[in-house]
Structure 1
Amino acid sequence: MTKDTAVSLWDTSAAEADYENETLGDVTVDVAIVGGGFTGLSTALHCAEKGLSAHVLEAKQIGYGGSGRNCGLVNAALWLQPQKVREKLGTLYGPRFIKKFGSGPEYVFSLIEKHQIRCEVTRTGTIHAAHGPSGYIDLKERHEEWQRLGEPVDLLSREQVSDMIGTNHFHGGLLDHRCGTINPMGYCRGLARAAMWAGAAISTGVRATKLERDGSLWKVETDKGTVTAKAVILGTNAYTDDLWPNLSRIFTMIHYFQLATKPLGPEADHILPGKQGLWDTGQIMFNIRRDAFNRLLVGSMGKVIGSKDQGLSHRWAKKQIARIFPNLGQFEFDEAWHGQIAMTPDHLPRIYELDVNLFTPIGYNGRGITTGTMFGETMAGLLTGMDRADLPLPMTALQTVPTAPIVSRIYQSAFTANQVLKAI
Structure 2
Amino acid sequence: MATAFSDPIWRKPQTASTFQSLPNGERVDLAIVGGGIMGLSTALHAARLGLSVQLLDAGEIGQGASGLNGGQVIPGLKYDPEWLLEHFGPERGEALVNFAASTADAVFELIRDEKLAVPFVRNGWIQAAHTEAALKAAANRDRQWRARGADVQLLNAAETAARTGAQGYLGGWLDRRAGVIDPLAYTSEFARVATAAGVRIAGHQKVVRLDKSAGVWRVSTENGVQLQAKAVVLATNAYTDGLIPGLAQTIVPLHSFQIATAPLSPGLAATILPEGQAVSDSRRILVYYRKSADGRLVLGGRGRMALPTSASDWAHLERALRRLYPMLSGVAIEKHWFGRVAMTPDHLPHIHEPEQGLLAVVGCQGRGVGLMTALGDRIAGYLRSGDVRQLPFPLSPIRPIPFHAFRQVGVAATIAWYRLLDALER
Change (3 A) 1:383 1:16: farther
Question: Does 2:382 correspond to 1:373?
Answer: no
> 2:217, 2:311 → 1: CA distance?
48
> 1:336, 1:15 → 2: CA distance?
21
Give the partner amino acid of 1:52.
L
Question: How far is 1:120 from its partner?
Answer: 1.2
Change (3 A) 1:80 1:408: farther
Per-residue CA distance 1:137-163 (angstroms, 9 max, x = gap): 110110111112221111001111110
Residue 228 of structure 2: aligned partner: 228
Contact 2:9 2:335 in 1 (8 A): no
Contact 1:161 1:173 in 2 (8 A): yes
Residue 14 of structure 1: aligned partner: 12
- Aligned residue for 2:389, secondary structure, equals helix
Question: Does 2:107 correspond to 1:111?
Answer: no
What TM-score do the two structures reach when normalised by structure 1? 0.93
Question: Does 2:411 correspond to 1:395?
Answer: no
> 2:187, 2:292 → 1: CA distance?
17
- Aligned residue for 2:145, secondary structure, equals helix
Question: How far is 1:106 from its partner?
Answer: 0.7
Residue 282 of structure 1: aligned partner: 283
- Aligned residue for 1:128, secondary structure, equals strand
> 2:388, 2:356 → 1: CA distance?
14
Residue 357 of structure 2: aligned partner: 357
Residue 168 of structure 2: aligned partner: 169
**Runs of 5+ unmatched residues, structure 1:** none
Contact 2:254 2:305 in 1 (8 A): no
**Between 19-28 and 411-420, the greater mean CA deviation after superposition:** 411-420
Give the partner amino acid of 2:376.
G
For these two proteins, the number of residue pairs brought into alignment is 420
Question: How far is 1:85 from its partner?
Answer: 2.3
Give the partner amino acid of 1:313.
W
- Aligned residue for 2:90, secondary structure, equals helix
Residue 271 of structure 1: aligned partner: 272
> 1:133, 1:404 → 2: CA distance?
35
> 1:306, 1:227 → 2: CA distance?
33
Residue 136 of structure 1: aligned partner: 135
Question: Does 2:219 correspond to 1:249?
Answer: no
Give the partner amino acid of 1:155.
L
Query: For 1:192-341, what aligned pairs fall within 5 Å after superposition?
Result: 192-224=191-223, 225-269=225-269, 270-303=271-304, 310-314=311-315, 316-341=316-341
Question: How far is 1:255 from its partner?
Answer: 2.1
Contact 1:40 1:56 in 2 (8 A): yes
Contact 2:73 2:180 in 1 (8 A): yes
Change (3 A) 1:317 1:306: farther
Query: For 1:54-133, what aligned pairs fall within 5 Å after superposition?
Result: 54-133=53-132
> 2:307, 2:33 → 1: CA distance?
32
Give the partner amino acid of 2:120.
V
- Aligned residue for 1:103, secondary structure, equals helix
Per-residue CA distance 1:131-185 (angstroms, 9 max, x = gap): 2111101101101111122211110011111100013321111110111000111
**Runs of 5+ unmatched residues, structure 2:** none
> 2:9, 2:201 → 1: CA distance?
21
Contact 1:304 1:313 in 2 (8 A): no
- Aligned residue for 2:35, secondary structure, equals coil
CA RMSD, 1 decimal: 2.4
Question: How far is 1:17 from its partner?
Answer: 4.6
Per-residue CA distance 1:83-138 (angstroms, 9 max, x = gap): 22222222221111111111110111111111111221111001011021111011
